[in-house]
Amino acid sequence: MQLKNCHWCGKVFAHATDTVCQDCRKEEEKDFDRVFEYLKNKKNATIVAVHEETGVDKRRIIKFIRQGRLLTASGEPFDIFVECEKCGEPIREGRLCDSCAKSIREELESSFKKEKETEKPRRKFRKSGQMYTADRRNKKSD
């Protein structure tokens, strides 16, 4: 475990993966419940309206949306939107819209393909079991 500063309150805590302390995590879950209950009644609310009615910080509401936690009973995301981090298109969950995610995936795949094509072939070892360093040392003394 590592020592970290809580993302919300700044308090030092120990945890391997979390970014907020236990106290802030409990508060975050209470905030989530308030936002979820509000959205069950007002399915088409905006982030600003949810913030004003519930008192929950806008950054937390955005975090809940990006995490994909705000789902209706049928499993669909509520009609509350955030912007794609690359193009600004409105999305209902995650960080990127489908087209930006697809373009990034394609860029990565082509980059890996190019890297593999330009990679130097590995040296083949001789089957005799001798080491190359011994051969080099012998050649230098000749």
Convert the pLDDT of each residue in 38-48 to its tens digit.
Answer: 998 887 888 99
- In a domain, residue 8? The reply is no
Task: List Cα–Cα distances, 51 to 9, 33, 54, 95, 113, in angstroms.
Answer: 19, 13, 5, 20, 46
- State pLDDT tens for residues 85-107: 999 999 988 899 999 999 999 99
Domain-located, residue 136: no
Domain that holds residue 42: 28-110
Q: Is residue 98 part of a domain?
A: yes
The answer as to whether 104 is a domain residue is yes
For position 56, what pLDDT does the model report? 93
Q: Could you tell me the pTM of the whole model?
A: 0.67
pLDDT at 80: 85
Q: Where are the alpha helices (DSSP H) in 15-77?
A: 22-41, 47-54, 58-67
Total domains in the chain come to 1
Going by C-alpha positions, the residue among 73, 74, 103 that lies closest to residue 86 is 103
| 130 located within any domain | no
Q: Within a domain: residue 133?
A: no
Q: Is residue 18 part of a domain?
A: no
Which of the residues in the chain have pLDDT under 70? 120-142
Q: Is residue 72 part of a domain?
A: yes
- Distance CA(77)–CA(57), nearest Å, equals 20
